[in-house]
Chains A and B, each alone.
Chain A
Amino acid sequence: MQDETILEINDLNICFEMREGTVNAVNGVTFSVKPGEVLGIVGESGSGKSLSARSIMNLLPRNATVTNGSVKFRKNDGEVVDILAEKRESRKMRELRGGHIGMIFQEPMTALSPVHSIGKQIMTTLNLHTDLSKKAQVERAADLLAMVQMPKPMEMLKKYPHQLSGGMRQRAMIAMALSCNPSLLLADEPTTALDVTTEAQILDLIMSLQDELNMAVIFITHNFGVVAEIADRVSVMYLGNAVETASVDDIFYHPKHPYTRALLQSIPRLDGQKRRRLQTIEGMVPDPFNLPTGCVFHTRCAEKMAGKCTSQIPELTHFENDQMARCHLHQA
């Protein structure tokens, strides 16, 4: 593991054995995160974003098999944990979850327990990872709610999720995830279910907290606009592959992978005179049971090279500026 990273995912492969055949859901995902950095992961639905995030928590679905690769996390004290080598239920994993790595989810509606108050749920995390007394826990929980800008924190502690709006629930969720000062926050489409105004507020909140607490964030979204707003670096996923990873500027101004370019073109342009209709990428997303041979994107790629692209899986090319792309165009 490199010295300056807090998280490294290397050549991660995850598959599901199903009655209908094998689904190769994640195929060689590789990326790393530095402390205090915001990594955006973009990709269409089903591209393996959530699975990659869950592998960091060692909380993959029980029918999932990791066939190759590693996930390594560096704790504050310098210890490196080889996450996938740990048992799902091991003490070390449970210490990491909620203690060193916080996670927030897409559905603020259903991601909180319906039968416990907000305060109780935050205190559950505090109870697991800190030695705070009951009284101190209550105070800490109220401070957290104030930190995520919820009004009247003391009263909010007693509220149940169904009594709160979607935005408020997501704030509570964030408070819970941050309760033990994690050094890494995983956010799996945390604003997808919210309306545009609330989404903007939550994004602002996450960004200001990230700045204030100086934690690393992995922000998953299928919205390139959101990525542009918050990420330092971006990883683009397609069919279980991280096809390109680069700084947010390089992704937007010097994309190396044809899929990234196609995605960028599909964003509606606010500045352009001729506002074209949202242009989607041509072709269908291939059937996950029947992935294309060679480069998985070749069925839709405008720059496909006959022969090479359909038969050989492209290697990951590393560029000097830390940009990475998985495409034959860049192979010698």
Chain B
Amino acid sequence: MAGYIAHRLLWSIPTLIVITIATFVIIQLPPGDYVTAYIAELVETGEVIDAETAAHIRHEFGLDRPMYEQFLTWIGGILLHGDFGLSLDWKLPVSELIWDRIGLTLMISVLSLLMTWAIAIPIGVYSATRQYSFFDHLFTVLGFLGRGIPDFLLALVLMWMGFLYFNFHVGGLFSPEFENAPWSIAKFVDLLSHLWVPVLVLSTGGAAGLLRIMRANMLEELGKPYVETAYAQGLSERQVVWRYPVRVALNPFISTVGWALPALISGDVITAVVLNLPTTGPLLLRSLQNQDMYLAGGFILILSVFTIIGTLLSDILLVLTDPRIRHS
């Protein structure tokens, strides 16, 4: 077991190196750089910048140096000083911009994942053990609705209803008076009162899909001979269902825990924009549009690290829960 973890940890090092390089290259791939994007933005407002000024800005930011040099400077700063560089767009250190957002993103994604499971697993188990019952049919319909309605639409509807019926502003994660306030118990309570909307929105779609998978897995497991053996031992239905098939049916979920984070960052940007969430998605989107390379690079790097950790965690969990994998 320890050997397995060490082995996996060792492997994540080259993975990380490759991801870092790929990240940097991809950010540089689109034609032009931050200054090009900056000039284009200024032109829209009527301002013009001459070539000399442009070259000056480029030089200041080091954008005129070769790519490998920029890369080495960047990665050296991170490794040696924990310095992720400067956001060209915001004129602020990247670290100042991203840690808060990553914290909130992590929190929302963990909560959504827990919520998704809390909805999907019991309902999936119920639907499978009471196949074709009234509630099974009802959950099937709700599941298809949940799957079919885009998250951002659900977000809009919830915001609209909250506003209409409760005169309650649900956008963002904080009320205006707490937005820039330092952390306090009151701010935390305020956060919780806002949090349920994004968590609900982000978990419904996933839960609906997961519910179908859980139901199908459970039906398959419930038909297996070992379930009959368990009944023949004298176990009650609840003991049989939760001790045996659920454990086996959960494996696909455990193995995908690690993907929850990147999914939230990439897949739900629209929801985050609609709900005005101070999470990573919108900021990452903007940094990519503006070719704000150090900001974008910093984000992608940190998220990759989390993804690798997540995958590692789910692999370890899987090995712990399924002896067949442990021994192969």
Contacts and interface: CB of A to CB of B under 8 A. Distances in A.
Interface of A: 57, 59, 89, 94-99, 102-103, 105-107, 110-117, 121, 124-125, 128-129, 160, 162-163, 173, 176-177
Given A114-B324, A115-B248, A97 B226 contact: no
Interface stretch (B65-73, B201-209, B227-235): B227-235
Contact of A162 (B224, B226, B324): B324
A112 B316 CA distance: 24
Contacts of B231: 57, 59, 97
B244 A115 contact: yes
A57 B232 contact: yes
A113 B234 contact: no
24 contacts: A59-B231, A94-B236, A96-B234, A97-B231, A97-B232, A98-B234, A102-B232, A103-B229, A105-B229, A107-B225, A114-B248, A115-B244, A115-B247, A115-B324, A116-B244, A117-B323, A124-B235, A125-B233, A125-B234, A128-B233, A128-B235, A176-B229, A176-B233, A177-B232
Interface residues of B, number: 21
Nearest to A128: B234
Nearest to B129: A62
Contact of A59 (B232, B248, B323): B232
A57 B230 CA distance: 12
A113 B237 contact: no
Contacts of B324: 114-115, 160, 162
Contacts of B234: 94-99, 125, 128-129
A113 B230 contact: yes
A125 B230 CA distance: 9
A241 to B, nearest CB: 24
B244 to A, nearest CB: 5
Interface in B277-328: 321-324, 327
Contacts of A129: 234
Given A94-B235, A115-B248, A162 B229 contact: no
A115 B254 CA distance: 15
Contacts of B226: 110-114
Given A89-B237, A111-B228, 9 more contacts: A59-B231, A59-B232, A96-B234, A105-B225, A105-B229, A114-B324, A115-B244, A129-B234, A160-B324
A102 B228 CA distance: 12
A189 B226 CA distance: 15
A169 to B, nearest CB: 11
A59 B235 contact: no
Nearest to A100: B234
Report which residue of B225, B236, B248, B322 has the largest number of chain A beta carbons within 10 angstroms of its beta carbon. B225
Contact of A113 (B232, B236, B244, B321): B244
B232 A160 contact: no
Contacts of A98: 232-234
A134 to B, nearest CB: 18
Contacts of B323: 114-115, 117, 160, 162
Nearest to B131: A62
The 8 closest A-B pairs by CB, nearest first: A98-B234, A98-B233, A97-B234, A111-B225, A103-B232, A160-B323, A110-B225, A125-B233
Contacts of B225: 105-107, 110-111
A26 to B, nearest CB: 18
Contacts of B322: 114-115
Nearest to B230: A113
A173 B232 CA distance: 11
Given A114-B248, A117-B323, A89 B236 contact: yes
A198 B51 CA distance: 87
Nearest to A113: B226
B233 A110 contact: no
A121 to B, nearest CB: 8
Contacts of B230: 113
Contacts of A125: 233-234
Contacts of A112: 226, 229
Contact of A111 (B229, B248, B321): B229
Contacts of A128: 233-235
Contacts of A116: 244
A99 B244 CA distance: 20
B199 to A, nearest CB: 31
Nearest to B237: A89
Given A115-B244, A115-B322, A110 B224 contact: yes
A163 B321 CA distance: 16
A168 to B, nearest CB: 15
A99 B235 CA distance: 11
A173 B323 CA distance: 19
A292 B232 CA distance: 34
Which of B224, B225, B234 neighbours the largest number of chain A CB atoms within 10 Å of its CB? B234
B113 to A, nearest CB: 23
Contacts of A99: 234
B129 to A, nearest CB: 10
Nearest to B327: A163
Contacts of A96: 234
A90 to B, nearest CB: 10
Contacts of B244: 113, 115-116
A115 B233 contact: no
A112 B228 CA distance: 9
B131 to A, nearest CB: 9
Contacts of A163: 327
A131 to B, nearest CB: 15
B237 to A, nearest CB: 6
